[in-house]
Amino acid sequence: MLPDNPKYIPRVCYEIFVRSFCDSNGDGIGDLNGIISKLDYLQELGIEAIWLTPVHPSPSYHKYDLTDYFDIDPEFGTMEDFKRLLQKADEHDIAVYMDLIVNHTSTLHPWFTEARKSPDNLYRNYYWWMTAPQIEELGIAQRQTSDDSQEVYPWHENMDDPEKYYGLFYKGMPDLNYHSEELKIELQKIVRFWLNDVGIDGFRLDAARHIFPEWEKEWSLEFWKFFSELIHETKPGAFTVGEVWAETEEVAPYFRSLNATFHFDLSFALQRILIQEKDENLISKLLNSYELFAKYNPLFIDAIMLTNHDQERIGSVVGNNTDKIKLAASILLTLPGQPYVYYGEEIGMLGTKPDPYIREPFLWTDQEHDPDKTSWIQAEFSTNQTIKPLSEQKNDAQSVFNHYKSLIKLRKAEPAISQLIAPNLLNIDLDDDNLMCYERPHADKSILVIHNLSRYYKIIHLPDEKKYFSNVLFASHFIPAPVSGNLEMPAYSSIVLSQIF
């Protein structure tokens, strides 16, 4: 069964790393009331849905290793705060998607503290256990690292237990085993609780391709079928967006059961294009991926992003070049799909790994002791010396913030750009690798987009059959309207054109 078509699909989304976004109570840690206080800001930016990184009780700063599926970590607030966030977000026409981690728990989750006690414990089969000879026989003692896990030895010792447990990401995150019918019943309770009792709008699904381990990979797709049916029974139209961190071919089958999946291949392609300042047939590759996705689900939604909380920030990828930071946004926000802006991208925040430094405090103002600013970590990359805070950018028409805001406004105003189902996209070849040009055809009003990816000044000659695109809807720099199809474009500039009616 295909997932239910959501009743309303947000056109521009925003990922919030909760700990770093906004602090409401002076402890230096971002929290739910902090997010509530910034809903006006998010609405001004044009955001229609927020994805919150995990909010459940957890011993870590990132909280991807949870100890309780039914509560809120006290560092972030209370269940009452969470419900108020949902209500206030709704008043701002912003949907809320919660990160749901079904692949693993913390070793401190009561299921695991029970399971590790003995092989005949009632919770033992919630996790994966094997003896060393069994692991050897299956040849699964070691694995190749992947973009989403650096773990080479996924089997971990449990004190003097003859069996080891499986933890794909690291020893503090034991993988759950959905061969257990009891565990599936627990999952049903979790999903019903958050969708119906609490009332969230959807889930971002963590580590979706790893639900079953590598030697039983085919079961992961079965699991999501079960999950999709569970959503259908619980709250039809609740939104699901999966983290399937893999190549497009491997991602596509997940559309059978999920509304959307994140497009990692596109994210890395965009980064390469920006670094190399050259196109690599991106539009043709995208069209191929759409064809593949549609085979599994004609209503597929391509969840697109420049980067997320697991990737180096786009500002650093492009060497903190403001023009290229804007160019990245111009491409993302004019391509088909459902864009996810990673918090801070809209002010050009920087950061490279290790992970905490791609998750630094949002810079709201230039006050040294801004009460909204989180301080759980000393920022190395995004400081008042390197980044203009939001308060300054708001008053600067040329700022990265106003660039994002204008593009999001344009996207929402133009159905050709924001069309989500059945992506409308045509490659226009301008015969120059430094340029990228595409059309977003639409019955009422088609749009033509051109980017100069390079440091060179370019004069562009539109093909004869596209010369009627002469009305400038948006330009990143001052770009005169094309005269008989000829157009001047400075370095790293973008222009969005329509017909003159």
Least distance to Ca ion from the beta carbon of 284, Å?
34
Angle at 451 between CA 45 and CA 415, to 5 degrees: 50
Q: Which is nearer to Ca ion, 25 or 134 (CB)?
A: 25
Q: Which is nearer to Ca ion, 167 or 351 (CB)?
A: 167
In the chain, what is the straight-line distance between the N-terminal and C-terminal CA atoms, in Å? 44
Q: Which residues bind Ca ion (CB under 5 A)?
A: 23, 25, 27, 29, 31, 103, 175, 210
Distance in Å, CB of 23 to Ca ion, minimum = 4
Told to judge if 4 belongs to the known catalytic residues of this protein, a careful annotator would answer: no
Cβ at position 33, least distance to Ca ion in Å: 8
- Which lies closer to Ca ion via its Cβ, residue 16 or residue 286? 16
Examine the residue annotation and report whether 380 is marked as an active-site residue of this protein.
Answer: no
Closer residue to Ca ion (CB): 31 or 439: 31
Count the neighbouring beta carbons within 10 Å of the beta carbon of residue 478.
Answer: 8
| Nearest Cα residue to 388 out of 414, 349, 352 | 349
The amino acid at residue 477 is H
Closer by beta carbon to Ca ion, 97 or else 126: 126
Catalytic residue selected from 48, 163, 175, 206: 206
- Among residues 243, 302, 345, 360, which one is catalytic? 243
Ordered strands of the 426-427 beta sheet:
426-427, 435-440, 447-452, 494-499, 469-475
Minimal distance, residue 36 CB to Ca ion, in Å: 12
Structure-block tokens of residue 363: 């810079």
Tell me whether the omega of the peptide bond preceding residue 354 falls within 30 degrees of 0, making it cis. yes
SS3 at position 475 = strand
> Which of 7, 1, 5, 12 has the alpha carbon at shortest distance from 408?
12
Kindly state the smallest distance separating residue 180's Cβ from Ca ion, in Å.
13
Q: How far is the CB of 365 from Ca ion (least distance, A)?
A: 17
Q: Are 196 and 189 in contact (CB under 8 A)?
A: no
* Closest to Ca ion by CB, 149 or 267: 149
Instruction: Report yes or no: 383 and 408 within 8 Å, Cβ to Cβ.
Output: no
* Residue 363 or 491 with smaller CB distance to Ca ion: 363
As separate numbers, helices (DSSP H) first and strands (DSSP E) second, the chain gives: 16, 18
Q: Which two tokens stand for residue 408?
A: 């999001």
| Measured distance CA(166)–CA(172) in Å, rounded | 10
Minimum distance of Ca ion from residue 369's CB (angstroms): 15
Q: Give the E-state strand segments of 112-264 in sequence order.
A: 129-131, 155-156, 163-166, 202-205, 239-242, 260-262
DSSP string, 422-471: S---EE---S-TTEEEEEE--SS--EEEEEE-SSS-EEEE--GGGTTEEE
| Residues annotated catalytic, as ranges | 206, 243
